[in-house]
Amino acid sequence: MLLRRHTIERGRTCGWIAFLYTYLVFDPGKRNHRGAEQVHGFSDWVLAVQDRFEVHAAQVWRFLTSFELLVAHNAAFDFRFIDREMTSAGLSSLSRPTYCTMKGYRALGLGGGASLSAVCSHIKLARSGQLHAAIEDAWLAMQIYFWLHDGPVQRRLPVSLPRTPSNFRHVEVGRQCALTFDHHGRCASQPK
């Protein structure tokens, strides 16, 4: 989720804000890390039927490079993965400036944790549920960015934001699914 054409000065927002997003899910080509399904809600067999990143890489690259500033919580972690996937898809790494809301929060010296959940708790933002949906994480990071710059903070996730990725492929109930994984943990077969 990104902002287009905005300037935040201390205490007020100038210009106009348009919330633009792309919400996609991909087959990572390997098994989830232990506990990941409980965090994001996608099982190995559901992820295995999704598109690979390469299918949407050019679209994601165009989207991300159309902005002057990319904001994320723990930005170094996120952009390391994004750049690796862009390079694997034959695209250049992202060269836009980034802003890390975790570093911005830590710079205030307020103490306590600086995880996304900890910062949200401190500034009275809450998740809409137990799962960590990527679009909600992006929304929360954006609200933290506004809070750090004395901008307008919206406490609730807009109902207009999708709860399911736009490219999500639903797995048929009752469909037999036999996945095999190679010795690196990568999916070696597709669901039947």
- Which residue range(s) make up the domain with 60? 2-148
Task: Specify if 189 maps to a domain.
Answer: no
Task: Specify if 52 maps to a domain.
Answer: yes
Whole-Å CA distances, 90 to 55, 106, 120: 12, 35, 36
Please say if the pLDDT value at position 179 is more than 90: no
Task: Specify if 96 maps to a domain.
Answer: yes
Task: Specify if 103 maps to a domain.
Answer: yes
Whole-Å CA distances, 32 to 9, 19, 26, 117: 41, 30, 12, 21
How many structural domains compose the chain? Answer: 1
pTM, whole model, 2 decimals? Answer: 0.79
Task: Specify if 178 maps to a domain.
Answer: no
Task: Specify if 169 maps to a domain.
Answer: no
Task: Specify if 177 maps to a domain.
Answer: no
**CATH number of the domain encompassing residue 111:** 3.30.420.10
Task: Specify if 181 maps to a domain.
Answer: no
pLDDT average, residue stretch 149-156 = 88
Inter-residue contact 5 to 18 (CB < 8 Å): yes
Q: Give the phi and the psi of residue 7 in degrees, each rounded to 5.
A: -135, 130
Q: What is the pLDDT of residue 163?
A: 85
Task: Report the percent of the chain where pLDDT is more than 70.
Answer: 80
Of 48, 5, 81, the closest CA to residue 169 belongs to: 48
Please say if the pLDDT value at position 191 is more than 60: no
pLDDT in tens, 73-109: 999 999 999 999 999 999 999 999 999 999 999 999 9
Q: For residue 6, what are the contacts with CB-CB under 8 A and spacing of at least 6? A: 13, 14, 15, 16, 17
Q: Return mean pLDDT, the chain.
A: 83
What is the DSSP-derived secondary structure letter of residue 119? Answer: H
Element (H, E) at 13: strand 12-20
Inter-residue contact 43 to 86 (CB < 8 Å): no
The lowest-confidence range among 76-90, 104-118, 119-133, 137-151 is: 119-133
Report which residue type is found at 76: A
